[in-house]
Amino acid sequence: MILKAQIIVKKHPTPLREILGTLVPAGVLTWALGMLTASYMGHAKVDSAFISSLVTSVLAVYGITRKDDAIKPQPPRIRTTPIKKKPTKPGAPPTP
């Protein structure tokens, strides 16, 4: 019975729920960036790794991810074996 109530709420979100669903992560992001800035400036002592992971999590909620460096474009292949020239017919001009 509890599961049905949760499903109904997710299918029909209220305007208040939509607004809070947007503003709460934005507030957490603002607070985390402020604390991270204060930490770097020496005004607050907080764990930078925790705040950075919090910022990453909140940005993921908004669909923002960091660029994956594992996928690198492949450099063009350079042929290392010599190209064999086709034999020419006797009396034909040589091909460059």
Mean pLDDT of 44-67: 84
Mean pLDDT of the chain: 76
Whole-model pTM?
0.52
Nearest to 30 by CA among 49, 66, 54: 54
Q: What integer pLDDT is reported at residue 56 of this predicted model?
A: 87
- Convert the pLDDT of each residue in 1-44 to its tens digit: 455 555 555 566 688 888 888 888 889 989 999 998 998 898 98
Q: What integer pLDDT is reported at residue 4 of this predicted model?
A: 54
